[in-house]
Amino acid sequence: METQKGLREITLGQILDETVKKYPDNEAIVYVDRDFRLTYRQFAHVVDEMAKGLMALGVKKGEKVAVWATNIPYWVTLQFATAKIGAILLTVNTNYKKAELSYLLEQSETENLFLIDGFQDTDYVNTIYELVPELKTQQRGSISSKTFPHLKRICFLGQEKHRGMYSIPEIRGLHTMVSDEEYQARQASLSPHDVVNMQYTSGTTGFPKGVMLSHYNIGNNGFWIGENQNFSEKDRLCLPVPLFHCFGCVLGVLASVTHGTSMVILEGFDPLLVMASVEQEGCTALYGVPTMFIALLEHPLFSKFNFSTLRTGIMAGSNCPVEIMRQVIEKMNMSEITICYGLTEGSPVMTYTRIHDELQKRVETVGQALPHIEVKIIDPETGETLPPNTQGEVCCRGYNVMKGYYNNPQATAEAVDKDQWLHSGDLGILDPDGFLSITGRHKDMIIRGGENIYPKEIEEFLYRMEGIQDIQVAAVPSEKYGEEVGAFIIRKQDADMEESDVKDFCRGNISRHKIPRYVSFVESYPMTASGKIQKYKLTEMSKTIWPDRR
């Protein structure tokens, strides 16, 4: 099943089958808060029952199965059950409200939706009844919705029965209606190049687009992510990041399943539960966005927990502050922590630090291209390839590039050029050894009176200041200069810091035009559910915070 060395023509179902054969009694999934444990053999059994149940319901190859849920145990089951029958897992952002879900169901032409009862202040069950009132009067499994003509089935991810929906026990119970022969025939009809996963990009600007990813895309990317952390069947990964995002379902689940690694999953991020899970389960790896690691390091009970089993993990999702990386290495024993960079359209990882890279490279760059992926820097205006140490747009090409955006050929053509290079929209610099540094998003750049200012540079400088827990730099509109530098700072507990202290710290150390003209102390940042900080919202906030700006 090899195409070129290290790349495999294999489906996600075949990947799981291989791992079950090799490590049947290894734990696959653990939830500490509910003492839920499944070995790989037990997990595969649940997956097969669910897959056959979906076939019995009438789910066909190529149909979308949307999952609107937090990291509950059945999420990962559905990831593989859909893959085994050729359906497409459509991951739904848990923060979505009614209008966003409506847009996604309509644009994606989804046939099936699985949901939990709700999350935070959103009642998912009521939301779907409002969008599809026919559920209360029509027969299950044959919905005819005026608003969503493609929608056929709604399923509830739990034991409870809801009008018009199938429950999990009912779906699993239907598996007896599908023979092993039918099930095997369906699996044999699949190609590794079929779309298996669709994710709607976070949409920090504009409407979200449905990124179509194949078994080949994410199966191979997951494998190399695991290889890069030296994963094996002896590793245990603590996974508190959302599964609906690539960070969870590719970097987490597929890196683990390709290596027989155990997954210690959290339904949502809770710093105390993360620390308890690591200690109780002897986790060797931990994933998180920078704000998660900051929450752990700053937690009042941090010193009470034992992190001695930790070795590796990934910090990604937004800029990783150098100082936070150093603290994670020193205080959490994560000597082999890694940083990767990519985007959903790239399955998602294109560059990655290696566990044996020198510390400076591991904390100050996002690493080198993964095997079988090319990375280059281009001039965003002319498209020409730029030499090393020159800033431009980051592009990549390889097995990881998406199949395209669903029903959006124009946006696909803008993102992937005729030579199959994926354009990231991010600015970066490649050094002569191929290490990539991300300098910012093209649209994050602050242009002050014609001077280009890159927020990351100022953020990294200010992280050195005593009392700063986290900082984000964003553009503040200015009549005089077009844009000014705004610093949005989360102070450490008990830190005594004023706006003037921040400016004094900068004076004489960074260029005058880079010193924040505006400083605001905030409690948190506006974020996408996957942990990306939305800088354009900070810019919007600035208009209210400083209405008299010039």
**Domains defined along the chain, listed by start:** 446-545 (3.30.300.30)
Q: In sequence order, which residues have a C-beta less than 8 Å from that of residue 369 and are 6 or more positions away? A: 350, 351, 375, 396, 434, 436
Beta-carbon neighbour count of residue 180 at 10 Å?
Answer: 9
> The tokens 């053999």 sit on which residue?
41
| β-sheet bridge partners, residue 27 | 39
- Give first-to-last CA distance, the chain, whole Å: 63
Does residue 129 have a pLDDT over 80?
yes
In degrees, rounded to 5, the angle at the alpha carbon of residue 124 between the alpha carbons of residues 199 and 144 is 80
The mean-pLDDT minimum among 1-10, 77-86, 113-122 falls in 1-10
**Phi first, then psi: what are they for 534, rounded to 5°?**
-95, 95
How far apart, in whole angstroms, are the C-alpha atoms of residue 423 and residue 413? 10
SS3 234: coil
CB 194 within 8 A of CB 320: no
Which residue, 80, 76, 28, 23, is CA-closest to 52?
80
Buried b (16+ CB within 10 A) or exposed e, 12-21: bbbbbbbbbe
- Strand duo 373-378 + 392-398: pairing: antiparallel
Q: Which amino acid is at 332?
A: M
Tell me the two tokens of residue 486: 């705004």
Mean pLDDT to the nearest integer, 268-285? 98
Pairwise CA distance, residues 337 & 356, whole Å? 10
Q: What local confidence, expressed as pLDDT, does residue 397 receive?
A: 98
* pLDDT at position 202: 56
Are 434 and 350 a contacting pair, CB within 8 Å?
no
Nearest to 241 by CA among 4, 462, 532: 532
pLDDT surpasses 50 at 145: yes
Using an 8 Å Cβ cutoff, are 115 and 69 in contact?
yes
Reading the block at residue 351, the tokens are 């560059």
Angle among Cα 420, 425, 427 to the nearest 5 degrees reads 115
pLDDT value at position 5? 60
pLDDT of residue 460: 87
Measured between alpha carbons, how far is 237 from 281 in angstroms, rounded to an integer?
Answer: 9
| Count of other CB atoms within 10 angstroms of residue 275 | 21
Which residues have C-beta within 8 Å of that of residue 80, sequence separation ≥ 6? 12, 13, 16, 47, 51
DSSP state of 205: S
The 10 Å Cβ neighbour count of residue 232 is 12
The pLDDT of residue 359 is above 70: yes
Distance CA 540, CA 525 (A): 12
Grouping H, G, I as helix, E, B as strand and the rest as coil, residue 180 is helix
Looking at residue 203, its pLDDT comes to 46
Is 60 exceeded by the pLDDT of residue 527? yes
DSSP string, 63-106: -EEEEE-SS-HHHHHHHHHHHHTT-EEEE--TT--HHHHHHHHH
Q: Which of 156-160, 467-471, 506-510 has the lowest mean pLDDT?
A: 506-510
Lowest-pLDDT choice from 163-177, 181-195, 383-397, 466-480: 466-480
Cis omega (within 30 of 0) for bond into 348:
yes
Contact 256, 237 (CB under 8 A): yes
pLDDT in tens, 288-328: 998 899 999 999 999 999 999 999 999 987 778 888 999 99
- Predicted pLDDT of residue 509: 83
Opening angle at CA 144, ends 140 and 150, nearest 5: 105
What is the structure's pLDDT at 3? Answer: 46
Largest Cα span, the chain: 75
* Segment 128-140 mean pLDDT: 96
pLDDT recorded at residue 271? 97
Q: Residues 96-104: contacts with CB within 8 Å, 24+ apart?
A: 96/68, 96/122, 97/122, 97/127, 98/127, 98/130, 98/131, 100/208, 101/68, 101/127, 101/128, 101/131, 102/131, 102/147, 103/207, 103/208, 104/66, 104/200, 104/208, 104/210
Task: Please tell me the distance from the alpha carbon of residue 440 to that of residue 373, in angstroms, as a whole number.
Answer: 21
Closest CA to 44 of 79, 91, 6: 79
Question: Model-level pTM greater than 0.85?
Answer: yes
Q: What is the pLDDT of residues 102-112, one digit of tens each?
A: 999 999 999 99
278, 265, 346, 276: which is closest to 312 by C-alpha? 278
The amino acid occupying position 301 is: L
